[in-house]
Chains A and B, each alone.
Chain A
Amino acid sequence: MDASAFAPWEDPQAQPLIRFKNVTKSFGTFTAIDDLSLDIFEKEFFALLGPSGCGKTTMMRMLAGFETPTSGVIELAGQDIAPVPPNQRAVNMMFQSYALFPHLSIWDNIAFGLKRDKMPKLDLQERVEAMLKLTRLEQFARRKPHQISGGQRQRVALARSLAKAPKLLLLDEPLGALDKKLRQDTQFELMDIQETTGTTFVIVTHDQEEAMTVASRVAVMDHGRIIQADTPDRIYESPNSVYVADFIGDVNIIQGQANPGEGDGYRLFWTEGQPPLIANSTKSFSAGQTCHLAIRPEKVTISAERPEDAANAVRGKVLDIAYLGNLSTYHVELPNGLVIKAQTANTRRISRRSFTWEDPVWLSWTATAGVLLAN
């Protein structure tokens, strides 16, 4: 998919398929969704990411029609969906708990929704077989849900929600119980289905890599709010807050006072007796404002000598080394006690690596490597 071509969220004229307008959902005194506004466009693959209990499932359930917003409006294709009962919404949901019918075979579970549509028998059989094939469940078709494994059950739930080819598909952690290989295969299948059918997907996942791979946009949630909804690369490269930066991937956060320099450059005074760090920022900060420099470990270079031309260079000593196979992460302690992570590719064998514990090293990065964040 050409990412630059498909970006309806940047087009002010585009009509969203789903629109949350100031939606709040409370359970008693607890606010699960807090004044949330969001547009999701047709043919999007929209991923919801966030810590447990932040309200992802609740959002899905409101879209499917099992919860009604306490206040605010949810529109589907321009229509307020509040009065439409779940069985009349062109929406199918894959439940986090799978919700397979225990008294029906795998085959009948998948056929359940198709039968409600009075699909002709031959078409129905063909469709169910196709779904079984897609999820590699052919040999389990006659079994009951309690006779298959957890991962297989998850695939049945996925197949059942895909079978009706709805306009909007809600997948609540669809691949969590699958092994890595099968998960990647299924991810590609999902993207394939998405491209061939043009279905809009909203998917909840705890796997950032998955969100990054499949999603056209990712929303990072916290306490019933969307903190940032953006394309995966923007979420990663230019998070709008420390929370998002910290939630997605690994990050070093250096706190200090910003001082405007020339152009969009800022000097960050971060500790006594050390030169300020240089960072460029498109956002503006007033002199002396407290801010945070978020910088990804892979953008920090580690070296024995001070690099000549680096915009930022700090001294430290190696505290710990995490070996990840293809990568190594060095935990380097700076003189003020702050620990910075630096990641390098392991191009040499481990026995020949250049640094070891307690070695004095230099960390360096460019002025554009990090992002300055106010909070």
Chain B
Amino acid sequence: MRRFFLIAVPYAWLLVLFLIPFVIVLKISLSDTELAIPPYTPTLDLSQGWAGIREFFAGLDLENFVWLTEDDLYWKAYLSSLWIATCSTILTLLIGFPIAYGMARSPEQWRATLMMLVILPFWTSFLIRVYAWMGILSQEGFLNQFLLWIGIIDSPLTILNTNTAVYIGIVYTYLPFMILPIYAALDRLDGSLIEAAEDLGCSRLMAFWLVTLPLSRPGIIAGCFLVFIPALGEFVIPSLLGGSGTLMIGKVLWEEFFSNRDWPVASAVAVVLLLILVIPIVLFQRNQQKQQEADQ
């Protein structure tokens, strides 16, 4: 009985916060647009009994999903989102790993402070921080002024409203999510393992490659997921820092939803996005499990 309750709590949580909203979105994605409130049909009318339910299900179809394949805007947006999310995850990893490594290697008394500094940006609003980047990256922004002043460039660079700005924004925003799990993994790592590797003939670099890296793998994977997943559906950063050429699915979704008021197509976009995310995660977990079983 106790076990049942222990399992019931997380499942109830999932049901309320994930499954029910998902079913609603899925239902909308199978509906048709209409100029009404809500802006789609059919709606479930239980007062008509069985006939109402039958009519409701008859009104559902896959039209919107077909539509997603017909207009190349959508798959281009998906691909471009995947590309941007992948690149920025790799960039975040390349920047985040050395920071986490440095933190884990720093003297004990410094670590709490360093950790504070990593989390500190969360104390201000995300939107304000993105606006600040607009100020930094714009033509007359701090970055250009600084580069002009030290004489590296003659004319201001165009960074704002390009994909570069989007990368900068994503890496900046999600860096802590990369640093924290990697730091946790590196912090747990027993320093005598590195010494043992060196004792057995490894150079520093080799010991890093053969011991540190494999042992921090769980942290790296967790960090990559924590960055990749939100980056894929990111909407604020591309719309504020990106230009008209920046194509991301989050932006498309927003436009369908609010500009076109086409809730069914927007919902279809969301459902496909979810599938794109869920499939690799499931595959990955199965792979992980198999490996663990092989270890036993």
Contacts and interface: CB of A to CB of B under 8 A. Distances in A.
Interface of A: 64-66, 85-87, 91-93, 95, 97, 99-103, 112-113, 116-117, 144, 147, 160, 164
Interface in B209-251: 210-211, 214-215
B70 interface: no
Given A87-B201, A93-B196, 15 more contacts: A66-B195, A87-B199, A92-B199, A99-B190, A99-B193, A99-B196, A101-B196, A101-B211, A112-B210, A113-B200, A116-B200, A116-B206, A144-B295, A160-B196, A160-B200
A86 B195 contact: yes
Contacts of A85: 198
A6 B269 CA distance: 84
Chain A interface, >50% SS class: loop
B202 interface: yes
A112 B198 contact: no
A82 to B, nearest CB: 16
A87 B296 CA distance: 32
A52 B152 CA distance: 61
B215 A95 contact: no
Contacts of B192: 95, 97, 99
B211 A64 contact: no
Q: State the main secondary structure of chain B at its contact with A.
A: helix
Contacts of A64: 195, 199
B294 to A, nearest CB: 10
Contacts of B193: 99, 101-102
A62 to B, nearest CB: 13
A355 to B, nearest CB: 53
A-B residue pairs, 6 tightest by C-beta: A113-B200, A116-B201, A99-B196, A99-B192, A86-B198, A87-B198
Contacts of B203: 87
Nearest to B190: A99
B197 interface: yes
A99 B196 CA distance: 6
A147 B203 CA distance: 29
A293 to B, nearest CB: 45
Contacts of A66: 195, 199
B88 to A, nearest CB: 28
A92 B199 CA distance: 6
7 contacts: A86-B198, A87-B200, A87-B202, A87-B203, A99-B190, A103-B215, A117-B201
Nearest to B214: A103
A92 B202 CA distance: 12
B280 to A, nearest CB: 23
B215 A93 contact: no
Contact of B199 (A86, A103, A117, A144): A86
Contacts of B196: 93, 95, 99-101, 160
B217 to A, nearest CB: 8
A299 B215 CA distance: 57
A119 to B, nearest CB: 11
A103 B197 CA distance: 13
Nearest to B193: A99
Contacts of B215: 102-103
Nearest to A89: B199
Contact of B200 (A92, A102, A103): A92
Contacts of A95: 192, 195-196
Interface string B170-203: 0000000000000000000010110111111111
A102 B296 CA distance: 13
A113 B200 CA distance: 5
A147 B215 CA distance: 17
B91 to A, nearest CB: 27
B152 to A, nearest CB: 39
Contacts of B295: 144, 147
A95 B197 CA distance: 11
B203 to A, nearest CB: 6
Nearest to B296: A147
Contact of A112 (B195, B197, B214): B197
A116 B202 contact: yes
Interface centre among B192, B206, B211, B214 (most CB of A within 10 A): B192
Contact of B201 (A101, A113, A144): A113
Nearest to A103: B214
A92 B195 CA distance: 11
A91 B198 CA distance: 11
Contacts of B199: 64-66, 86-87, 91-93
A165 B255 CA distance: 70
A353 to B, nearest CB: 51
Contacts of B202: 87, 116
A290 to B, nearest CB: 46
A121 to B, nearest CB: 17
A71 B171 CA distance: 47
A82 B296 CA distance: 43
